[in-house]
Chain A
Amino acid sequence: MDPSDPPGLEQLFEHAPCGHLVADASGRLLLVNATLCEWLGYDKHELLAAGGFADLLSIGGRIFHQTHIVPLLRMQGSVAEVKLDLRRKNGTLLPVIVNARELDWKGATFLHVAIFVVEDRHRYERELLLQRQRAEQLAAENARGQQELDAERHRAEERAVFAEKLVGMVSHDIRNPLSVIQMSTVLLERSGLSAMQRQVVDRVSRAVKRVHHLVGDLLDFTQAKLGRGLQVASEEVDLHRSVADSIADLQVANPGREIRHVQRGAQTCVADVNRILQAVGNLASNAIAHGAADRPITVVTESASQEFRISVHNHGPVIPAQQIPHLFEPMVRGADADAEGGVGLGLFIVREIVERHHGSIHVDSTQQGGTTFVVTIPCHPPAGNR
């Protein structure tokens, strides 16, 4: 090849590596190059007779042409990188990128369009679009799922608050008539009763105390399980002394049993003393109910470093190993459950109280050693989290 004799402009136009077309102001085709004819499968004269540039487009493409490309050409003289589909002679579509420019030539305006085939890019873009649609769909599904979750949580919270209110109201309404019954038994006791009548009044009085207790447990359970958690108000207290006093009371109330208190160490702690005594009371009541009647019950309070430990020990029947993991669940009662056993909320409430104090509870039950519940709480729980 002679480098001094390159192809002429005509050759370069006809076989350029892109399609070329020139149209008049109305869009009628005046010139098309061989590359474009080849891509679209037309002979040159066929293509020139096909009409205007817009006639090569799909109907949707023509609307886009009229609403976007024509105005842009008129306003800024050119457009670039417009993605269109051209119709081949055989009806199939050819994805192309189009650059176009208006050309003023000897008083007339012409349109010069350069066309690039973009089949690979088209496939890639379709894939991107599909992925975006898929992502949008997933996002919408997620949002719907989240909305449902939120609505469900909201309903659950409403149910919990309602349950708490209901139980609170009912408990309150039960306590009032209970107090009337209790006061009436006191009045009856003073009115000179026969021995048999006194026994009956005693029974009524004990039953009223138990119902009081049950109502209290029910309230606590509702708060802990359905509501906003057990309410705890901590302050600096001497737990050794408080537990000692409460054990002494328990001894008075249960004259037939031996209940000891052993103190190790001396230290004040930050805790809700009423809640701690409630826990100790529940554990001791269990020991009285389930322990061997002829053996002592021992409550040990022990403070060392930053911990406070309370253990409640009794002799008697072993708690079966398979029961231990479920012992603290509500409504679980021992195998020897009897009329004094309550509704099975005692240990659940103990564990709730311990957890609200950031502590832990363990149980150990053997034939020789007996049964020991050990509660351990930090003496100074993390600030702002009491």
Chain B
Amino acid sequence: MGVLERHNVHLSGSGRAMVFVHGFGCDQNMWRLVAPHFAKSHQVVLLDLVGSGNSDLSAYDKQKYASLRGHARDMCEVLAVLGISNAVFVGHSVSAMIGLLAGLQCPDRIGAQVMVGPSPSYINDGDYFGGFDRSDIEQLLETLEANYLGWSSNMAPVIMGAPQQPELAQELTNSFCRTDPEIARHFARVTFLSDHRADLPNCRAPTLILQCSEDIIAPLAVGEYMKRHIPNSTLKVIKNVGHCPHLSSPSASVDAIESFLHGA
């Protein structure tokens, strides 16, 4: 299986490349309200991380992905196969850090970073406020486990109709946020126990930190911490409750990214 199939890569538009990468939990469909806007002026690259969405689950090697650097290497591979340089890397949540690490691995291919709800470390550590304790992460793993009891079997839960979104095909229901329970557990651990604070100062690309006003996963203090430690960075806080501004405040997200692109 080739690199592009492995990541279920979808391309649209033309111009400077923008790579959109989803965070922990779901897949590239998360960008459905944002990516089409940029396809008018850019080449939009959508992909799934290995272990998520419709990626090649058999390629999930626990050793390779024991650190976010394994995913970062994948990102550089995808860009190399597509022959892309100077891309804008738009990463949500954990993928913001994956993008930063990829930028360190293949700096020529990534010219700018857009970090949506990023956090270099989720666990509180001395003066550093990440928002969580280890026991919270254990609770998350338990919740994941409890839900995969039903989700891992063939009996996908019956989805109540979504008449306002008839374009949503039946086979897609819930699959956005479903993957092999083993992988989900492993990825959750790697994501929420990772600590890349030390890598922040090495990021040289112009960076937009897009933070939400109320987000328990990436609190404001974390955004400010990143702003202080990434040399060429801008912090933009948009009014949004929750961790997914690209879904709940898509136009504010688009505006913030657009003004960053024009300023950068």
Contact = CB atoms under 8 A, between A and B. Distances in A.
Contacts of A262: none
A81 interface: yes
A74 interface: yes
Given A76-B173, A104-B164, A128-B149, A70 B244 contact: yes
Given A59-B139, A71-B176, A76-B174, A125 B165 contact: no
Given A75-B29, A78-B159, A78-B160, A59 B136 contact: yes
A70 B92 CA distance: 15
A131 to B, nearest CB: 12
Interface string A114-145: 00000000100100110000000000000000
Nearest to B144: A64
B243 A125 contact: no
Contact of A68 (B25, B29, B241): B25
B137 interface: yes
Contacts of B217: 63, 66-67
B189 to A, nearest CB: 12
B49 to A, nearest CB: 13
A344 interface: no
A66 B242 contact: yes
A72 B26 CA distance: 8
B143 A76 contact: no
A58 interface: yes
Interface string B148-186: 011000000111111111001000111011000000000
Interface string B93-107: 100000000000000
Contacts of B172: 76
A99 B160 contact: yes
Nearest to B143: A64
Contact of B143 (A26, A80, A83): A83
B244 A76 contact: no
Given A58-B139, A64-B143, A70 B242 contact: yes
A220 interface: no
Given A60-B139, A68-B26, A77 B164 contact: yes
A80 B248 contact: no
Contacts of A54: 216
B146 A125 contact: yes
A164 interface: no
B61 interface: no
B202 interface: no
Interface residues of B, number: 50
B159 A80 contact: yes
Given A76-B165, A83-B147, A60 B140 contact: yes
A62 B131 CA distance: 12
A68 B177 contact: yes
Interface string A84-106: 11000000000000010110100
Nearest to B250: A74
A27 interface: yes
B160 A59 contact: no
A61 interface: yes
B177 A61 contact: no
A373 B132 CA distance: 84
Nearest to A99: B160
A82 interface: yes
A67 B147 contact: no
Given A67-B24, A70-B243, A80-B159, A60 B173 contact: no
B42 to A, nearest CB: 23
B30 interface: yes
B142 interface: yes
B143 A74 contact: no
B176 A75 contact: yes
Contact of A129 (B32, B140, B149, B244): B149
Contact of A82 (B139, B147, B158, B247): B147
Given A63-B140, A77-B160, A83-B149, 17 more contacts: A59-B133, A59-B140, A60-B136, A61-B140, A61-B143, A66-B243, A67-B93, A67-B177, A74-B247, A76-B165, A76-B176, A77-B163, A79-B159, A80-B159, A81-B158, A83-B143, A85-B143
Interface of A: 25-27, 52, 54, 58-64, 66-68, 70-72, 74-85, 99, 101-102, 104, 122, 125, 128-129
The 4 lowest CB-CB distance pairs between A and B, nearest first, are A60-B139, A77-B162, A67-B25, A60-B140
30 contacts: A26-B214, A26-B241, A52-B241, A58-B139, A59-B140, A60-B137, A60-B138, A60-B141, A61-B139, A64-B147, A66-B217, A67-B24, A67-B26, A67-B93, A67-B177, A67-B217, A68-B25, A68-B147, A70-B242, A72-B174, A75-B26, A75-B32, A75-B247, A76-B174, A78-B160, A78-B162, A80-B158, A102-B164, A104-B164, A122-B146
